Amino acid sequence: MTISAAAQEAGVGVETIRYYERRGLIRQPPSKGGYRQYPEATIRQIRFIRESQRLGFSLTEIEELLALAAAEDTTCGDVCSATEHKLAEVRGRIATLQRLERELEEMLCAKDCTAPKRDCKLLEALSPSSPPPDGEHCCH
């Protein structure tokens, strides 16, 4: 199928396919009659890339996953290891976001949000020159 048909079938834009080709994620098929003809295997590979992106894998990590998929000696354990690494990374980001959530809640609860802007302690606390929080805790 042509690049436009392949893009439609895979649910991506033509430029996405071209970008994946430039990155080496998919192979550019040979031209037949002036048009590149994309096999169904390429569509499956694009869907694999998109699903991996949805799960948070970077294109570099996806390259590694594709290499694992292509290697003859790959085991499921190899794929599990890559997935466990990604899961640990996601959990770390979640923990960081939860800490940020608590800090923001504490900032809001410790400050008077009805004060005029010139007296806004939130703006002062967010200023790069402000000292660290004074230990006030959230009212929750």
**Higher pLDDT among residues 17 and 34, named by residue:** 17
The rounded mean pLDDT for the chain is 88
pLDDT of residue 51: 96
Could you give the dihedral angle defined by the CA atoms of residues 115, 118, 120 and 122, in that order, rounded to the nearest 10 degrees?
160
Q: What is the mean pLDDT of residues 119-125?
A: 76
Q: What is the mean pLDDT of residues 50-66?
A: 95
Highest mean pLDDT among 28-32, 46-50, 131-135: 46-50
The domain segmentation of the chain, as residue ranges, is: 1-58, 75-140
pLDDT, one tens digit per residue, over 60-93 is 999 999 999 999 999 999 999 999 999 999 999 9
- Other C-beta atoms closer than 10 Å to the C-beta of 43 total 21
Q: What is the mean pLDDT of residues 82-105?
A: 94
Asked if the 1-58 domain carries CATH number 1.25.40.10, the reply is no
pLDDT of residue 134: 55
Note whether 38 and 3 are within 8 A (CB).
Answer: yes
Phi first, then psi: give them for residue 57, nearest 5 degrees: -75, 140
Residue 35, helix vs strand vs coil: strand
Note whether 52 and 62 are within 8 A (CB).
Answer: yes
In the predicted structure, residue 131 carries a pLDDT above the cut 70: no
In percent, how much of the chain has pLDDT > 70? Answer: 92
Of 45, 135, 116, whose CA–CA distance to 53 is shortest?
45
Q: Rounded to whole angstroms, how far apart are CA atoms 43 and 5?
A: 10
Q: Rounded to whole angstroms, how far apart are CA atoms 49 and 59?
A: 8
Helical H segments across the chain, by residue range: 3-10, 14-23, 40-54, 59-70, 76-110, 121-126
